[in-house]
Chain A
């Protein structure tokens, strides 16, 4: 302090008072201390100033000359309670789109739903999902979402909309003008109550339910057989013998997630199970379910009713009765009848037909076999189909006659999926008030006068009763992104009820459902508990008991026996596992999902048998006109019945958005009406060759295993005799497994995955789940044609045997995480390395894109970012994003735990390493070891068949270790000594060889 200069007396005085000040400042004194320390530093000299000045100018110049990226992340001003950055919240919810149902959990990160998972608490879906459920989160961020209420295309406010629509409805109601509320089948009890209120308020209003995938034939058949229109519960897990007539119950028929769960449960040979169901499938077009059957019979689609009549006759004969037969089908059903007869009460016969007579026959057969009460439950009913197709036909007539004054359409798109869409459109013009309560802009919303946009299900409250007594709830996982309002609330508003739908729902449950749940002290605790679980299963049965009368079936037999099988070309219209009915066509993940049978994506096409193709002299991708209405490219499908052709529904959307618009052709235009029901089958189709080709995007172009032992299979008989059967190659190989290098050792964890080929149906849910979890880019049709799809998991499908009647085998293939990985040692920059937990990992930042690893991967699971698919590249203006996946809205779906890869890097399956790390952290904070089954990768999580098991191979008691120890276990290409961490269990078919 010697020679201290002071500027003023204050300067000196502060010095003396400092200690005092510090004392009074208490624990804030460190601030004073810091001030003091900085004051003690030597004062800035002119040189220092110039240095700092120069540096500032220079750095400012440098900084300003480089363009700074605009960062849009805005921190919370006030941290919301319960949200921990980097930690996901989970909400139980329900996916229901009028066709599919799934009880789900929604993963929310930073306020954005990013992933859908199955809800284990639901005893219907039991944690299973399907591709569309997995993909539904992306629909939330659909670029084509309706953003505001609008009138004739121009935006209006909700107040205006309510005033105008409400006023108009009152006016129409006052003069008793006919109103119609058109919805899909309503399984929501509260929504049904809202609709009842609405109809009460407007007595001239008619509520029509419209199922795109109709089951009206079955409803009518049951009306006639049992006196009530209903759909029973099927129990595939209780059936020893399943006979399906064109019912794609693993893909699209009624409740595929539920049935997949049941079906695979009965067919697994793990856990000591020594028996499995036998599945016989009659169909014309090759379907997902048919390709999984133990025995697949090719049946002309239009001949189903005759085969059923003959089967019934054969069964009756065994029962000592007689029933007429029909000649002219090539199927000998005696053996089948005998087999069914042996399995009385343990069999299940189902038909996918929408024809009443055929369903009546199926009822009679099941009744005769005593399956009711065993494999078919009429007390607990499936409530997701209640549309009678004839009602819509009548509606269109009434609209065209001008009788309908107001039409409110909620979540339906008849202008696309009604076969006579033009007639509907013409009728719609005569309706005074047309309102669409849609989520996404579509063909119908484009034609109505008012659009009152509904929430996406992830933004909305709702409840569901999918099956009798099986309730579930959905709750908002995000605040509405756009200016939307629950459709139910709109209806409430117009019928004069100012309540919010949530309040309505709440009081509905309090009044009607709470009473069904014993053991709760208050409604609030009941509500909170069920909202947490997402499901409530009351155990109630259908109130109306039913009794069977065979009269209708006898009449049906007479009707069918009066006709004769024709030798014409039959067309089957089917819904595939990706876009389904077309409602989700604007979902890029689904568009890029290869069909499990044909491996084609981004289009629909005409599936045609090899024999017919030869006769017509057509090859793949050649254009053929169907009935003079639709021109489609051909896919020659091995295993297709000679004269059955098939086209997928759900394509040819015109007015929704990118990427759906213009993809494929609208096959609903081909659909006919059989007087009562819509018919998904057309007989006597004319096919005409057209000039030209149309390229199809196909992810697999070679369909034979070339005699290689890639998918190993055996028959149940052989398996029971020798569990090793089909897997003999492994015994031989193990003898020769020698290496001069030390074996790979992993202390602690060693991750492995086992895949039960017997359980996997090939439904593709895992592919979408993986894309969603791991931000896998969508590359579009052109790039798929160039064989550049990016899926981290794929399902290889091979045909075996004769091209006219092949067997189909499938195998999910992802990175095998080889412990002696060929990819790892060839990377010059060590961007792909082996972790000490046995995971083959990618450091995207380090990758320079030599693709050497991809070349050297024998499994070809490595994917290269050929173009800037994600917009993550340094250069501007070179994005390649035909599916519009990189818009700000769509990007909200990205999982922040997984890097978005840039152009020029390799990527591949990581065993969902982010999930492993997350669970490891949880275990660590709880100071315990990881439990078996705690880490579930996205693919395994999504799998309704539970075909994928993941765990620690070092733990000999883990499920995956047990699978690995099984005689059925083998590794793909084990002979090249890559030491994969993925094992496959041989496929066992229940067939008599």
Chain B
């Protein structure tokens, strides 16, 4: 296959196959570094904080939060939407980029998919914990029962249940299928007996034969085909929670595309946040190159701009609709008591990503890292603005009120961050962070040593 010599190589440093295996498996070998221990202590502590908050919520009730008669959702659903959005990057990278045959995805898809799984797990936690009667949460499943009770298929919240579980299952299967060849590699390199047995079991007897490879490729494509629509559908359905309601600020037809691009936007930001640290810490700079990061930054510019246009469109529509409640809701967003949240959102989501138009900035790791954090914050506030500022002043001014989070709510959010990072730290010890087999497949065409290969 001919590759333009102008193209940046996807893998630097003239690697051969065995070097690739060695490099990528290196973080799994030996004892973890002291930074790893520090990280897992910190994130574990955060997760414990979350466990305390979960106990408080379940035992004493939602009253331990800052909600009230007017504001029934706040941090819970904000966090839910935020985490689901973050998850979108992984699926986007592995499914849509696979279908579009973007080879650069091979270096980042494994960790992005893992991040997706962890983010969905964190996201799924919030719709559960936000239930007033968590122990009866199974009512939400359409299971046959003697009382002839059935769920309400009109409710977007029920669609959420299906969307999120489907998403979790497909992502899990997709990620695991992708892992199988690498698990085979890990098994082959494993030294201990137990380790060998475990990875042997997990790799499903992968031998690397042509038949295995062929089947693997086919199933990957099929799953990518299945997962690709999910990128669009999951956040569309999440946005229906708001869009189908009657609350001014929620009742907006623009929500589905707006939410999906916002999701990809925040997802890429989180991937960047994680990988900029990980590539350094795990010595994978040759695999996750500045070129990769630049590509992701380009996605951020596009999705960020879509989000920005959506914000402006909402304002236009509020004015154009002539609905006084709608108009008030948007004026209140920008000038009301929660205006600070709105302007944080605007700054972080609309203004900062525009800096990526400058090549210097989008190829600068420190700048990218900072902006990615900004985007994460901005997207969290976007959901906060939608959920809380719409609710706190809706139709009847007699019921208007204010919301302030409680320590328990903070605990739940910090707790999911803790679980997320704990799982990620465990992931880098247990599985190859980069898809070895896939990287090897692009090594010949897009590696730094491609010229030598062509000369042969």
Spell out A's residues near B (CB within 8 Å): 700-708, 710, 783, 786-789, 794, 796-798, 813, 822, 825-830, 846-852, 854-856, 858-860, 862-868, 873-875, 878, 880, 902-906, 972-973, 976, 978
Measured in the bound complex, the distance between the Cα atoms of B247 and A976 in whole Å is 10
Measured in the bound complex, the distance between the Cα atoms of B137 and A866 in whole Å is 17
A852 — which chain B residues lie within 8 A by C-beta? 72-73, 155, 157, 241
B67 — which chain A residues lie within 8 A by C-beta? 851, 864, 866
B161 — which chain A residues lie within 8 A by C-beta? 828
B397 lies within 8 A of A798 (CB): yes
Chain A: CB-nearest residue to B137: A848
Q: Mark B100-132, 1 if CB is under 8 A from A, else 0.
A: 000000000000000000000000000100111
Nearest Cβ distance between residue A323 and chain B, in whole angstroms?
Answer: 47
Q: Mark B373-385, 1 if CB is under 8 A from A, else 0.
A: 0000000000000
A865 lies within 8 A of B397 (CB): no
Of B55-63, B199-207, B219-227, which stretch is located at the interface? B55-63
- Kindly state whether residue B391 has any CB partner on chain A within 8 Å: yes
Spell out B's residues near A (CB within 8 Å): 59-73, 127, 130-137, 139-140, 149-152, 154-158, 161, 241, 244-247, 324-325, 328, 391, 393-402
Which one of B63, B149, B247, B398 has the greatest number of beta carbons of chain A within 10 Å?
B398
B157 — which chain A residues lie within 8 A by C-beta? 826-828, 850, 852
A828 — which chain B residues lie within 8 A by C-beta? 140, 151-152, 155, 157-158, 161
B69 — which chain A residues lie within 8 A by C-beta? 787-789, 854, 860, 862-864
A866 lies within 8 A of B61 (CB): yes
Measured in the bound complex, the distance between the Cα atoms of B128 and A850 in whole Å is 9
A703 — which chain B residues lie within 8 A by C-beta? 397
Name 7 A/B residue pairs within 8 A (Cβ), A-sorted.
A707-B324, A787-B401, A829-B139, A856-B245, A856-B247, A868-B60, A904-B133
Measured in the bound complex, the distance between the Cα atoms of B325 and A858 in whole Å is 11
A705 lies within 8 A of B397 (CB): yes
B68 lies within 8 A of A788 (CB): yes
The 8 closest A-B pairs by CB, nearest first: A849-B132, A904-B132, A866-B63, A851-B72, A867-B63, A787-B68, A860-B399, A796-B398
Nearest Cβ distance between residue A707 and chain B, in whole angstroms?
Answer: 7
B73 lies within 8 A of A874 (CB): no
B398 lies within 8 A of A864 (CB): no
Measured in the bound complex, the distance between the Cα atoms of B62 and A905 in whole Å is 10
Query: Quick one: which of A708, A798, A846 contacts B149, CB cutoff 8 A?
Result: A846
B399 — which chain A residues lie within 8 A by C-beta? 700, 859-860
A903 — which chain B residues lie within 8 A by C-beta? 61, 63, 132-133
Chain B: CB-nearest residue to A825: B154
Which one of B69, B130, B397 has the greatest number of beta carbons of chain A within 10 Å?
B69
Nearest Cβ distance between residue A468 and chain B, in whole angstroms?
Answer: 43
Nearest Cβ distance between residue B54 and chain A, in whole angstroms?
Answer: 14
Nearest Cβ distance between residue B115 and chain A, in whole angstroms?
Answer: 27
B140 lies within 8 A of A848 (CB): yes
B400 lies within 8 A of A825 (CB): no
**10 other A-B residue contacts (CB within 8 Å) besides A826-B244, A828-B161, A866-B62:** A703-B397, A706-B328, A788-B68, A827-B152, A829-B152, A851-B62, A864-B62, A864-B69, A880-B63, A904-B62
B398 lies within 8 A of A794 (CB): yes
Nearest Cβ distance between residue A547 and chain B, in whole angstroms?
Answer: 53
A864 — which chain B residues lie within 8 A by C-beta? 62, 67, 69, 72, 132
A875 lies within 8 A of B247 (CB): no
Measured in the bound complex, the distance between the Cα atoms of B310 and A812 in whole Å is 39
Nearest Cβ distance between residue A698 and chain B, in whole angstroms?
Answer: 10
Measured in the bound complex, the distance between the Cα atoms of B328 and A866 in whole Å is 29
Measured in the bound complex, the distance between the Cα atoms of B73 and A981 in whole Å is 27
Query: Quick one: which of B73, B137, B395 contacts A855, CB cutoff 8 A?
Result: B73
Nearest Cβ distance between residue A770 and chain B, in whole angstroms?
Answer: 16
A794 — which chain B residues lie within 8 A by C-beta? 398
Measured in the bound complex, the distance between the Cα atoms of B12 and A235 in whole Å is 99
B155 lies within 8 A of A826 (CB): yes
Query: Quick one: which of B131, B135, B328, B398 contacts A700, CB cutoff 8 A?
Result: B398
B396 lies within 8 A of A860 (CB): yes
Nearest Cβ distance between residue A772 and chain B, in whole angstroms?
Answer: 20
Chain A: CB-nearest residue to B133: A904
A708 — which chain B residues lie within 8 A by C-beta? 324-325, 395, 397
A847 lies within 8 A of B244 (CB): no
Which one of B67, B130, B399 has the greatest number of beta carbons of chain A within 10 Å?
B399
A850 — which chain B residues lie within 8 A by C-beta? 127, 130-132, 157
Chain B: CB-nearest residue to A707: B324
B395 — which chain A residues lie within 8 A by C-beta? 708, 858-860, 973, 976
Measured in the bound complex, the distance between the Cα atoms of B334 and A242 in whole Å is 48
A873 — which chain B residues lie within 8 A by C-beta? 61
Measured in the bound complex, the distance between the Cα atoms of B154 and A825 in whole Å is 6
B391 — which chain A residues lie within 8 A by C-beta? 855
Measured in the bound complex, the distance between the Cα atoms of B400 and A796 in whole Å is 11
Chain B: CB-nearest residue to A822: B246
Query: Quick one: which of A701, A825, A826, A830 contacts B401, CB cutoff 8 A?
Result: A701
A848 lies within 8 A of B132 (CB): yes
A855 lies within 8 A of B133 (CB): no
A710 — which chain B residues lie within 8 A by C-beta? 396-397
Chain A: CB-nearest residue to B401: A787
A860 lies within 8 A of B394 (CB): yes
Query: Quick one: which of A786, A787, A846, A878 contacts B139, CB cutoff 8 A?
Result: A846
Query: Quick one: which of B71, B156, B397 contacts A702, CB cutoff 8 A?
Result: B397
A705 — which chain B residues lie within 8 A by C-beta? 397
B72 lies within 8 A of A855 (CB): yes
Chain B: CB-nearest residue to A853: B72
Chain A: CB-nearest residue to B161: A828
Query: Quick one: which of A700, A825, A905 contacts B155, CB cutoff 8 A?
Result: A825
Chain B: CB-nearest residue to A854: B72
Nearest Cβ distance between residue A704 and chain B, in whole angstroms?
Answer: 6
Measured in the bound complex, the distance between the Cα atoms of B395 and A796 in whole Å is 13
A855 — which chain B residues lie within 8 A by C-beta? 71-73, 245, 247, 391
Nearest Cβ distance between residue B211 and chain A, in whole angstroms?
Answer: 45
A860 lies within 8 A of B70 (CB): yes
Measured in the bound complex, the distance between the Cα atoms of B133 and A873 in whole Å is 10
A822 lies within 8 A of B245 (CB): yes
Measured in the bound complex, the distance between the Cα atoms of B398 and A706 in whole Å is 10
Nearest Cβ distance between residue A16 and chain B, in whole angstroms?
Answer: 48
A830 lies within 8 A of B133 (CB): no
A976 — which chain B residues lie within 8 A by C-beta? 246, 395
Measured in the bound complex, the distance between the Cα atoms of B328 and A830 in whole Å is 32
Which one of A700, A789, A797, A904 has the greatest number of beta carbons of chain B within 10 Å?
A904
Nearest Cβ distance between residue B282 and chain A, in whole angstroms?
Answer: 41
Nearest Cβ distance between residue A396 and chain B, in whole angstroms?
Answer: 46
B132 lies within 8 A of A905 (CB): yes
Measured in the bound complex, the distance between the Cα atoms of B151 and A700 in whole Å is 36
B70 lies within 8 A of A858 (CB): no
Measured in the bound complex, the distance between the Cα atoms of B131 and A949 in whole Å is 37
Nearest Cβ distance between residue A830 and chain B, in whole angstroms?
Answer: 4
A798 lies within 8 A of B136 (CB): no
Nearest Cβ distance between residue A982 and chain B, in whole angstroms?
Answer: 13
Measured in the bound complex, the distance between the Cα atoms of B400 and A705 in whole Å is 11
B154 — which chain A residues lie within 8 A by C-beta? 825-826
Nearest Cβ distance between residue B14 and chain A, in whole angstroms?
Answer: 56
Nearest Cβ distance between residue B92 and chain A, in whole angstroms?
Answer: 28
B65 — which chain A residues lie within 8 A by C-beta? 866
A849 — which chain B residues lie within 8 A by C-beta? 62, 131-133
Chain A: CB-nearest residue to B406: A786
A851 lies within 8 A of B132 (CB): yes
Report if A865-B61 is in contact (Cβ < 8 Å); known contacts: A822-B245, A828-B161, A829-B152: yes
B393 — which chain A residues lie within 8 A by C-beta? 702
Nearest Cβ distance between residue B177 and chain A, in whole angstroms?
Answer: 32
Chain B: CB-nearest residue to A785: B68
Nearest Cβ distance between residue B130 and chain A, in whole angstroms?
Answer: 7
Nearest Cβ distance between residue A904 and chain B, in whole angstroms?
Answer: 3
A796 — which chain B residues lie within 8 A by C-beta? 396, 398
A847 — which chain B residues lie within 8 A by C-beta? 132-133
Query: Quick one: which of A822, A851, A878 contacts B73, CB cutoff 8 A?
Result: A851
